[in-house]
């Protein structure tokens, strides 16, 4: 099929085959070719494809009702999913507002924060500080918080221009500090920015606890997380964790905040929360934030499709699968295996400059020089070439330009949480073959001894 045969328009004109079916970590096109879903789509299909329990629950719900507007009816699936979500979140995060995707979850989080400030009598607080690079969504509110130039720049005149602080890209730093000190250094940048903006104007700080597409699974030093919480508390600023990609078990905890014992004030969830079975997301906060807003007349916000019983029945079944099959623990265990294998690639490919991640959210980054971490020439288009080469060989990966979207190339490897060690071997075999082919095509050296 040529691109012009389709009435659809998305980001790219690259023609893709028709999807036929999915099963576990595999997808099949209509010619019968099998693909390993090495990134769970866009880090979505956490429990794999065509899970029988989820499909059965959805079918049962379909036979009853697929939609009941949330202002007209309570529904059992939405109540049950809210209760289940609250039970899996850190203590105190027990009020749930359903949405249909990640951008909506982030928009809802910042509007909830703003309404909280108003009911607290703090009208002057409206600025949300976020990080650069980062990705928080494509609606104008979420995009204003996104630090990714190619996606944001054309729309700059339509946005307020929310303040940004550097993401903690310590692997690029060439100073004499320890990792602990670097973590604190990046956290202090937030404090400096709050003071520069005027603390009484700052509403919230928004961050991805483990980076997603824009930074390629960036993990900050441990010291960063606690210090950020302290700084937010010092100035009465709400800490919002964007766990759209990291939530629902992907990093080896239900939400990534648990790795550092942090309780954010508001959390955005989506992707793995609906796991590809239904468009679903949630904004989760504590009663401390939600109750005063309800007392003052309610949250002035909502999406028509949100909380519909079909999507919620899927979400509930997804969380039950996670629990019953210990998939969050599997993400932690298999994540260690995967990360070790990716580190192993550095022996063979001198152009892999860094490997990082947590649980089954992992990435590797290309460089021209490991000492300086200078990126490969942009003209090589490595980020798209390797993805295409792997795709031809039946492995789906996900890449972005790394340094704010303008240069550098990183690749995410994030299979469904059901992945086995043998399947990780299969992923690595295709990846190695693809890296060899890319190196050959780009004229890059490969260490044959490894």
Ligand X SMILES: Cc1ncc(COP(=O)(O)O)c(C=O)c1O
Residues in touch with ligand X (CB under 6 A)? 42, 101-103, 106, 135-137, 208, 212-213, 242, 244-245, 270
Complex with ligand X: residue 39 or 103, whichever CB lies closer: 103
CB of 42 to ligand X, least distance (A): 6
Element (H, E) at 57: helix 52-64
Q: Are 236 and 243 in contact (CB under 8 A)?
A: no
Q: 147 vs 212, which CB is nearer to ligand X?
A: 212
Does residue 373 sit in helix, strand or coil? coil
Least separation, in Å, of the C-beta of 426 and ligand X?
26
Q: Residue 127: in which H helix or E strand, if any?
A: strand 127-132
CB closer to ligand X, 137 vs 404: 137
What count of Cα atoms within 13 Å lies in the side-chain half-sphere of residue 35? Answer: 29
Would you say 27 or 213 has its CB closer to ligand X? 213
| Minimum distance, C-beta of residue 178 to ligand X, in the bound complex (Å) | 28
Q: Which is nearer to ligand X, 41 or 375 (CB)?
A: 41
Instruction: Judge contact between 105 and 244, C-beta under 8 A.
Output: yes
Shortest Å, Cβ 199 to ligand X? 26
Give the three-class secondary structure for 240.
strand
Name the residue with the smallest CB distance to ligand X.
Answer: 102
Are 438 and 352 in contact by the 8 Å Cβ rule? The answer is no
Q: Looking at beta carbons only, is 144 or 242 nearer to ligand X? A: 242
- Count of CB atoms within 10 A of residue 209's CB? 28
295 three-state secondary structure: helix
CB of 390 to ligand X, least distance (A): 20
Q: Closest distance between ligand X and the C-beta of residue 148, in Å?
A: 11
Which backbone phi and psi does 175 adopt, to 5 degrees? -110, -175
Instruction: List the structure tokens of 402.
Output: 């790394």
307 vs 428, beta carbon nearer ligand X: 307
List the beta strands (DSSP E) in 136-230. Answer: 164-166, 202-207
| Residue 443 exposed, middle or buried by CB count within 10 Å (0-12, 13-18, 19+) | exposed
Packed helices 309-324 and 52-64: angle between N→C axes, nearest 10 degrees: 150
Tell me how far, at minimum, the Cβ of 146 lies from ligand X, in Å: 8
């Amino acid at each position: 099929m040529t691109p012009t045969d389709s009435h659809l328009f998305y980001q790219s004109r690259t023609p893709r085959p028709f999807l036929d079916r999915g099963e576990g970590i595999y997808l099949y096109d209509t010619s019968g070719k099998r693909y390993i879903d090495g990134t769970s789509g866009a880090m979505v299909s956490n429990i794999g494809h065509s899970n029988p329990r989820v499909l059965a629950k959805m079918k049962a719900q379909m036979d009853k009702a697929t939609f009941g507007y949330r202002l007209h009816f309570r529904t059992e699936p939405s109540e049950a999913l809210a209760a289940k979500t609250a039970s899996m979140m850190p203590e105190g995060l027990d009020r749930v507002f359903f949405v249909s995707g990640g951008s909506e979850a982030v928009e809802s989080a910042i509007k909830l924060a703003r309404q909280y400030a108003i009911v607290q009598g703090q009208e002057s607080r409206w600025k949300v500080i976020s990080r650069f690079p980062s990705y928080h969504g494509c609606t104008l509110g979420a995009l204003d918080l996104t630090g990714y130039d190619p996606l944001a720049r054309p729309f700059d005149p339509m946005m307020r221009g929310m303040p940004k602080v550097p993401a903690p890209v310590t692997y690029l730093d060439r100073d004499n500090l320890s990792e602990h000190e670097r973590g604190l250094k990046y956290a202090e940048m937030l404090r400096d920015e709050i003071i520069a903006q005027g603390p009484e104007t700052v509403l919230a700080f928004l961050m991805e606890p483990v980076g997603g597409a824009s930074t390629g699974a960036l993990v900050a030093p441990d010291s960063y997380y606690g210090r950020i919480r302290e700084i937010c508390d010092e100035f009465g600023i709400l800490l919002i964790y964007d766990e759209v990609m990291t939530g629902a078990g992907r990093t080896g905890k239900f939400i990534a905040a648990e790795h550092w014992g942090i309780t954010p004030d508001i959390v955005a969830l989506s992707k793995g929360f609906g796991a590809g079975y239904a468009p679903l997301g949630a904004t989760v906060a504590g009663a401390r934030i939600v109750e005063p807003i309800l007392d003052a007349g309610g949250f002035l916000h909502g999406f028509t499709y949100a909380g519909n019983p079909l999507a919620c029945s899927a979400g509930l079944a997804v969380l039950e699968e996670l629990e019953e099959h210990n998939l969050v623990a599997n993400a932690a265990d298999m994540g260690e295996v995967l990360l070790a294998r990716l580190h192993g690639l550095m022996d063979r490919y001198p152009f892999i400059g860094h490997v990082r991640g947590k649980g089954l959210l992992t990435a590797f980054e290309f460089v021209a020089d490991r000492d300086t971490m200078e990126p490969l020439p942009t003209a090589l288009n490595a980020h798209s070439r390797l993805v295409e080469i792997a795709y031809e060989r039946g492995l789906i990966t996900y890449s972005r330009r790394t340094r704010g979207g303008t240069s550098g190339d990183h690749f995410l490897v994030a299979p469904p949480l059901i992945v086995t060690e043998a399947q990780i071997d299969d992923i690595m075999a295709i990846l190695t073959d693809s890296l060899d082919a890319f190196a050959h095509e780009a004229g890059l050296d490969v260490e044959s001894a490894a």
